[in-house]
Amino acid sequence: MKRIYELEIESIIQQIDRNLEEYGHRFPHIHRDGRYAEHFSEDGSWTGSFWTGMVAMAYRYTNNPKYLTYLHGYLPLYQERLKKGYTDHDLGFLYQLYAVEMYRLTGSSEYKELAVEAADKLLSRYHVKGGFIRAWGPIQSDIRRGKIIIDCMMNLTLLYSASALTSDPKYREAALSHAENSRKHLLRPDLSTYHTFDFDPESGNPIGGFCEDGYGDESTWSRGQAWGVYGFQLSYELVGKMEFRDTAAAMADYFIKHTPESLIPPWDFRLPDEAIQLQDCSASAIAISGMFDLADSLDDTVRADYYRSRANNMLQALLPYSSEAEQERNGILSNCYGRTEEGQFHMYTIWGDFFYMEALFKAIGHNWRMWSSSI
């Protein structure tokens, strides 16, 4: 399979080259037909760095300086976003894959400063009494003021990186507290997940679990489960708490058990018959990438081989959903679940493309650990 994966990566890089010219320094986001250039995100939304992360992987793989030159062109946009743009918990997605990654690649102090400034804004969302990072909404807004979401487990990497960059433990301590509270409150006894959990915004006392992106409050949104697999594994790697790796493994077991024979998960693992039945290839790609890391971290070779084998099988199942050779499209991975004002659809998503590409690289032995705090 290695050669098949390599050919897929080479085709994706050819698609990236075509997209460089069409995008300029704009941000792809989602599109039902994969034509991101018809629907750019103005400021990068929560997804902008998945595109720049793909370009960074192309640079790491090819050493072609054109990719690095192109990435430098996004710096003013990321700087302006922190000054005047919308910011929330997704600063981790946006700045880990851009500012931290560009600092690793260039050693330039302006990227280090950008990463720390973004981490400071993310840290400002930390609720001291409750020990969590607030999810959506402007910091001064009362809407959703006591809410956390499973997605934020991936955003914590920016805080871990900021402590590595500054030697100040405050970022790491906040991330660790949030991870522990997420493990305590977002996980059910069977290791499925709530998408969201509410705390009293004044006292920080726990209220209960809910779901906004899944089917219902007691359902299991498959992409949320995937965020948990990957996110808890990352927290294990970055702080060394065995409980986090155990949680990642148990969540991966749930994901594997509830994925159908097609090896493509539904958008929610607990859908009633009357619900819209759609797949989510992006959830699969995220879980696969997390499982590769999980396998690498295990001393038990039998368990490691199990997760690695499952990840490879699921990755092979994604290959028919790749559209990288279709030049009329910008997107790579089809059948990713998306919801817009018009309804629920199979879509192309830039996050699905990123995690698919990342998983392919891991499958052939290239793991650049873009989410780590090592500088």
Active-site annotation holds for 90: yes
CA distance 346 to 338: 6
CA distance 352 to 30: 10
Query: What average pLDDT is seen over the chain?
Result: 96
Q: Looking at the whole model, is its pTM more than 0.95?
A: yes
Asked if residue 327 has pLDDT above 80, the reply is no
Active-site annotation holds for 151: yes
DSSP secondary structure string for all residues of 10-71: HHHHHHHHHHHHHHSS-B--EETTS-GGGS-BSS-TTTHHHHHHHHHHHHHHH--HHHHHHH
Within a domain: residue 371? Answer: no
CA distance 187 to 161: 25
Looking up tokens 């830039």, which residue turns up? 350
Share of the chain above pLDDT 90, in %: 94
CA atoms within 13 A on the CB side of 245: 19
Residue 355, domain extent:
2-363
Angle between helices 281-297 and 301-318 (to 10 degrees): 160
Contact 219, 143 (CB under 8 A): no
Task: Give the pLDDT score at 103.
Answer: 98
- Backbone angles phi and psi of 326, in degrees to 5: -90, 100
24: CATH: 1.50.10.10
Within a domain: residue 291? Answer: yes
Asked if residue 324 has pLDDT above 70, the reply is no
Spot the catalytic one: 90, 280, 293, 353.
Answer: 90
Residue 218 — pLDDT band, cuts 50, 70, 90?
very high
Asked if residue 325 has pLDDT above 70, the reply is no
Asked if residue 375 has pLDDT above 90, the reply is no
Q: What is the pLDDT of residues 163-213, one digit of tens each?
A: 999 999 999 999 999 999 999 999 999 999 999 999 999 999 999 999 999
Within a domain: residue 218? Answer: yes
Domains of the chain: total: 1
Contact 357, 332 (CB under 8 A): yes
Q: What is the pLDDT of residues 99-158, one digit of tens each?
A: 999 999 999 999 999 999 999 999 999 999 999 999 999 888 888 899 999 999 999 999
Task: Give the pLDDT score at 131.
Answer: 98
Contact 269, 257 (CB under 8 A): no
CA distance 139 to 121: 10
Within a domain: residue 368? Answer: no
Residues 6+ apart with CB under 8 A from 247: 183, 187, 191, 228, 232
* Structure tokens that stand for 237 in this block: 């790697």
Dihedral sign, CA of 183, 188, 193, 195? negative
Tell me, what DSSP letter sits at residue 340?
Answer: E
- pLDDT average, residue stretch 215-244: 97
Within a domain: residue 375? Answer: no
Task: Give the pLDDT score at 142.
Answer: 85
Spot the catalytic one: 151, 280, 293, 353.
Answer: 151
Within a domain: residue 369? Answer: no
* Structure tokens that stand for 39 in this block: 């629907």
Residues 6+ apart with CB under 8 A from 353: 12, 50, 54, 331, 332, 333
Task: Give the pLDDT score at 344.
Answer: 96
Task: Give the pLDDT score at 154.
Answer: 98
Within a domain: residue 17? Answer: yes
Q: What is the pLDDT of residues 234-258, one digit of tens each?
A: 999 999 999 999 999 999 999 999 9
Q: Starting at the earlier edge strand, list the strands of the sheet with 336-340.
A: 30-31, 343-349, 336-340
CA distance 194 to 224: 8
Within a domain: residue 93? Answer: yes
Task: Give the pLDDT score at 143.
Answer: 85
Asked if residue 328 has pLDDT above 90, the reply is no
